[in-house]
Amino acid sequence: MNTLIKSATIVDSKSDFHNEKVDILIERGRISKISKRITNQNNYREIRLDNLHVSRGWFDSSVSFGEPGFEERETISNGLKTAARSGFTAVALNSNTHPVVDSNPDITFIQSKSAGHATNLYPIGALTRAGNGVDLAELFDMQSAGAVAFYDYKQPIENPNLLKIALQYASNFNGLVLSFPQENKISGLGVVNEHINSTKLGLKGNPALAEELQVARDLFLLEYTEGKLHIPTISTAKSVQLIREAKSKKMDVTCSVAIHNLVLTDDELADFNTNFKVLPPLRTNEDLEALIEGLKDGTIDMVTSDHNPIDIEGKKVEFEYAKYGTIGLESAFGALQTVFTTKKAIALLTKGKERFGIELNPINEGERAELTLFNPDVNYNFTSSDILSKSNNSIFLGHRLKGKVYGIVANNKISLSNE
């Protein structure tokens, strides 16, 4: 793939051309030249777009597609197309499937289904067999096949000894263990944040304590085992504080936050719209502000769309019975820019790769071309026409967002939203 990108402003602090408007020549998938003006001597394809900005390719550490088993929600092929046109050159795919991905052949299958796409797919294997929380899955075999981490998606590890053993075992091959932060005996049948709004609406509450107890427990286990832990999608102020303290002790822990938990609170629940039923639940403004501060000071390592397509049968029911989850790839950039500057938003979207063992590619001559193309200055209302996924369960429908994605150049391919 050979192409010439014209008049693009580079947003990449690791690039020699950061904040400069330049032309970028890509030949055979690599950046061969960056200059103020490059003549298209070989008649390569040219990319010229309004207010074009280019950054290193974005990464999402928590994406679900459904295949195998839930293809009615999303397929791997369309999911990767959606990711590409939402600006993501790499995604870590959860084992949120039926059956769950818990063996070497399963990882190989997932990778084979992703071949030929612009976006790279990195499988996350289940931590336990069948995701049942009882016995460890074949962790080393899955990592040998290409798994980048191990996680029972949205399923807490209730047995602390099992997590202890997982952390100890995975440390032998530098494996990354993920543990969902919820104590089920505390959360009970709660479906929304336990606070004033849950009482007003008559909905069962899931208290912040349920998350914080689990985070505290997992950090004690991490300190004991000296393992390698990632805590996905934290949502409370106390969780941020606990992880901040753990990092001050030099413990090997990272964490993420879902973008919707940075933008929305449980005030959105007033009309019982099931698109707002997510796990962890939308919390209070106090929690939201603490999460933002955690990103600013580095306590929280990365953001995620926590993209989880759910078909209409799973959402168009009473709130109590609806499935948890929202799609988020398409709205990730636009929502993030309602909270942070473009520079900070891009920094957050490009973080996390190193933790998952994924190659970093700054925008410099000689580097592999892994680029996201976008216009940061477009304000718009997010509607169903902006959805590329098979499922339409977006938490941001009707919300005002800022920033449009053009697509990506990666994997020796071009994927643009207007094609």
CA distance 134 to 157: 9
Q: Which amino acid is at 417?
A: S
CA distance 220 to 228: 13
- Is 16 assigned a catalytic role? no
| Active-site annotation holder among 135, 306, 311, 386 | 306
Q: Which amino acid is at 379?
A: N
First vs last Cα of the chain: how many Å apart? 16
CA distance 59 to 370: 11
CA distance 241 to 278: 23
CA distance 67 to 78: 10
413 and 118 Cβ atoms separated by less than 8 Å: yes
- Nearest CA to 191 among 116, 316, 281, 325? 281
Q: How far is CA 306 from the centre of its chain?
A: 5
* Tokens encoding 236: 């409370």
Torsion region of 262: left, alpha or beta (phi above 0 gives left; psi -120 to 50 gives alpha): alpha
Q: How far is CA 75 from CA 28, 42, 65, 106, 309, in A?
A: 29, 38, 6, 15, 10
Q: What is the Cα gyration radius of the chain? A: 21
CA distance 256 to 366: 31
* Torsion angle, alpha carbons of 387, 64, 230, 186, to 10: 100
CA distance 206 to 204: 7
Report the run of H or E that residue 291 belongs to, with start and end: helix 285-296
* Tokens encoding 402: 């800022």
| Enzyme catalytic residues | 306
